[in-house]
Structure 1
Amino acid sequence: MKLPAFARTGLAALVLALPFMACAQEATLRKNLAERVPGLSNIDEVRKTPMNGLFEVRVGTDILYTDAEGNYLIHGNMLDTKARKNLTEERIEKLTAIDFKELDLKNAFTMVRGNGKRKLAVFEDPNCGYCKRFEKDLAKINNVTVHFFLIPILGADSVEKSRQIWCSADKVKTWNDWMQRDVAPKGAGTCNTDALTANLDFAKKYRITGTPTLVFENGQRVPGAINTQQLEEMLTAKR
């Protein structure tokens, strides 16, 4: 059925007006939250959620939810009960995904074993017990290139040991001696350690809050230690 001219004109006007209405709604939401909630003056993104009337407010990688006018604020997880999915977790995982190709390798030291074709990045603290367990399993893996990013998050001694390892003449040997054989690193650790600061900033940005955290070449991220068999399977699965 062909719509009358006046109806077509009205529909076209409505379609054109929708983006402006959405912009005005977002502007109201941003204004209200900035005035009412300290810390929400610089919102990075506002998006509709699958739930009618509920909006996602993103600041960095922090996710909050609110109504269209910012009258109410929710901090928590949104669950899709039909699909049985945690939508908030999925969103954060997407926001904090790490592209292996964009890792700044100048802030890491690298070990190559065998042909080195398989690649892995590991974020570790030298005083992390789980990291030491992981390192003993990693030592059994061949044909791999591993980039080690030191993130001293467990206290002052972690900072000192990280400096000593980073400033050593042979970083890989010093690291392996400490992590696998309990031979403590030596030296003053007085070289340029900007890499450690950069690694901590990177960890904060991508929510790396525990060690070890593994990043595979295909972008898959694994928090926590895994054993030799699991590591072998994940290194092979990417290819």
Structure 2
Amino acid sequence: MLGVICTLLTPSESAFAQTEQQIKTEIQKKLSSNAKVRSVTAAPVSGLYEVLVGNEIFYTDTSGKYLIQGEIIELASGKNITEQRQADLNRIKWSDLNQANAFKSVRGNGQRQLAIFSDPNCGYCKRLEKSLQQLDNVTIYTYLIPILSPDSAQKSKQIWCSADPYKNYIDWMVNGTAPTGKTDCSNPLDKNLAFAKAYGITGTPTLFFTDGSRFPGAVQVTDIEKKFNSLK
């Protein structure tokens, strides 16, 4: 009997859950079939609800009549609540990354770890790689995801199938020497693409740190160093 009692909702909790479900239903009716409402939960502001569409955060009122796009800032602390919530949603488990599907570069003691999802035809990835040459005492895992142009897959396979994938990759990304060689070796590209789809990685470069947090885009090395320092 005790176990049953522990799983029951109070009347107020039940009504609250019902309201969230009603809002979710109403909003989903108004959106296209391609926009999936993942969840509706109470926002930290009275009268507002957080609406998660895909991996994007919106807000709505109790009627579900309006969809609000924007950020909630707590004035007393200056905390960007929406930004923090988005960061939490974007977080992954470092252990979910299969390092066998990446090529690895170790510099110095290699103690600091970083994972990068990259397309060989990505200009921002090239900019990032040039900046990353300044980093030391780091292990970098590079996951190739050919998503940008028709020959991204060919370049990715040529890089992966080479005798030294990291060198071949850097020769292209930093020095401009196009990859050459075979493309018919066993490679992890499909697995990397499946991972990217499952975790909402829609652009390159995308970086992950050991605490699971992600940095999208060609971030500055100073920001990467700052993040590493926060993980100590």
Q: What amino acid sits opposite 1:163 in the alignment?
A: K
Deviates more, 1:116-125 or 1:183-192: 183-192
- Secondary structure at 1:147's aligned position in 2? strand
Q: CA deviation at 1:95?
A: 0.3
**Cα distance between partner residues in 2 of 1:125 and 1:114:** 26
Aligned to 1:131: 125
Q: CA deviation at 1:40?
A: 8.3
**Cα distance between partner residues in 1 of 2:35 and 2:127:** 44
Structure 1 unaligned regions, length at least 5: 1-14
Aligned pair 1:65/2:59, yes or no?
Answer: yes
Equivalent residue for 2:189, pick from 187, 196, 206: 196
- Secondary structure at 2:151's aligned position in 1? helix
Q: CA deviation at 1:148?
A: 0.4
Aligned to 2:204: 211
Q: What amino acid sits opposite 2:97 in the alignment?
A: L
Aligned to 2:181: 187
Aligned to 1:9: none
Aligned to 1:152: 146
Contact 2:172-2:178 at 8 Å conserved across structures = yes
Aligned to 1:104: 98
Q: Give runs of aligned pairs for residues 5-154 of structure 1, distance below 5 A.
A: 16-39=10-33, 43-70=37-64, 72-80=65-73, 82-83=75-76, 84-154=78-148
**Cα distance between partner residues in 2 of 1:54 and 1:79:** 11
CA distances 1:107-165 after superposition (whole Å, capped 9, x unpaired): 21112233322211122221223332332343343332110011223211222211221
**Cα distance between partner residues in 1 of 2:12 and 2:26:** 21
- Secondary structure at 1:181's aligned position in 2? coil
Q: What amino acid sits opposite 2:132 in the alignment?
A: L
Q: Cα 1:30–1:138, aligned 2, differ >3 Å: closer, same or farther?
A: closer
Fraction of identical pairs, as percent: 43
Larger Rg: 1
Superposition TM-score, scaled by structure 1 size: 0.76
Q: What amino acid sits opposite 2:110 in the alignment?
A: G
Contact 1:63-1:88 at 8 Å conserved across structures = yes
Equivalent residue for 1:222, pick from 212, 215, 226: 215
Q: Cα 1:178–1:27, aligned 2, differ >3 Å: closer, same or farther?
A: closer
Q: What amino acid sits opposite 2:144 in the alignment?
A: L
Q: Cα 1:20–1:217, aligned 2, differ >3 Å: closer, same or farther?
A: closer
CA distances 1:200-227 after superposition (whole Å, capped 9, x unpaired): 3433454444433332324443333356
Q: Cα 1:30–1:74, aligned 2, differ >3 Å: closer, same or farther?
A: closer
- Secondary structure at 2:140's aligned position in 1? strand
**Cα distance between partner residues in 2 of 1:37 and 1:88:** 22
Structure 2 unaligned regions, length at least 5: 1-8
Q: CA deviation at 1:191?
A: 2.9
Q: CA deviation at 1:58?
A: 1.9
Deviates more, 1:156-165 or 1:23-32: 23-32
